[in-house]
Structures are given as structure tokens and as C-alpha cells.
Amino acid sequence: MSNALLFLFVACAGAMVAIQPSVNAHLAEKIGVVEAACVSFSVGALSLAFLSLCVGNGSWRGLGTTVWWEWTGGLMGACFVSAMILAVPRIGTAAALATVIAVQLITGLALDAYGFFGFRSVPLDWRRGLGCLLLIAGAALVSRR
């Protein structure tokens, strides 16, 4: 996959991340917060299972070699989806996303700086730090009422 196509895919995913909380919040109004999160994850899991069968090139056999913390991604996703379902109707989509994005960047900078999870280390320099501060300032401005 070319980098241009990869960026397009990520951009589309970013748009979906912005739309998903509102869709889930509407569902939650009809069935409840936890139930809406469950439906969201179930539809996602079924979609990914289908894709895995159709185009997947990995192997499920490696599942037995995993360690406990490698299974926590789904739990983190469930917490994220639930938090967004609760937040969006109360503080708005932009404020919720601005907060999430700012915290994601801060976390990402820390992960990069220390090379957590065995990935290469990317030092924190003044440009990355300034970018993070500007994003935090932007999130604060977007979140003000």
C-alpha cells in the first residue's frame, strides 16, 4: 500500500471516528449506553471476522503465544466507545474529540519518547513539544462554552 493510499485510509478512519460517537449516542438513547457499546463492538467484531476470513493473511494459531496485556486493546476500545457515548450528548462532538485527540497526542509522545512496547524510540524535541502544546491550546479553545 502506498503512503498516499495509507494517508487516505487514515483520513477516512479519522472521519469515521468523528461520526461514530454521535451514531452510538443515538443508539444509546434507544437501548442504553452499555448496550449501544455492545452493539457497536459486536457489529465491528463480526465485520472484522468476515474480513479476516475473506482477505486476512495472518494466522490465528499465534493467539496461544500472546501475553495477557496484548488482549487489553478490546477493553480499551470498549472504554473509549462508552466514554464517547456518554460525553458527546453532554459536551458536544468537537469538545469530546478535541480532548481525546490532545490526550492521544500526549500519550503518543510519551510512548514514542520511551520506545514503549518495543517500538523504536522517537525523541521528544521542541517541535513535537510545541505541536503538542498548540494542540492542547486548540482543544481548550474548542471545549470552551
State the alpha helices, DSSP H only, in 1-145: 3-31, 33-55, 73-91, 93-114, 126-143
Whether the CB-CB separation of 15 and 76 falls below 8 Å is answered with no
Residue 1, pLDDT > 90, answer: no
Q: What is the mean pLDDT of residues 125-136?
A: 94
Total residue count of the chain as it appears in this document: 145
Residue 145, pLDDT > 80, answer: no
> Grid cell 461520526 — which residue?
19
The reported pTM is 0.82
Asked if residue 85 is part of any domain, the answer here is yes
Domain count, the chain: 1
Contacts of 131 (CB under 8 A, 6+ apart): 105
Asked if residue 63 is part of any domain, the answer here is no
Phi, psi of 71 (to 5 degrees): -95, -5
**Segment 63-115, tens digit of pLDDT:** 999 999 999 999 999 999 999 999 999 999 999 999 999 999 999 999 999 99
Tell the burial category of 86 from Cβ atoms under 10 Å away from its Cβ (0-12, 13-18, 19+).
middle
Question: What is the widest separation between alpha-carbon atoms in the chain?
Answer: 51
Residue 79 lies in domain: 3-58+68-143
**Segment 14-63, tens digit of pLDDT:** 899 889 999 999 999 999 999 999 999 999 999 999 999 999 888 889 99
Task: Specify the pLDDT at position 73.
Answer: 92
Task: Specify the pLDDT at position 81.
Answer: 93
Task: Specify the pLDDT at position 85.
Answer: 93
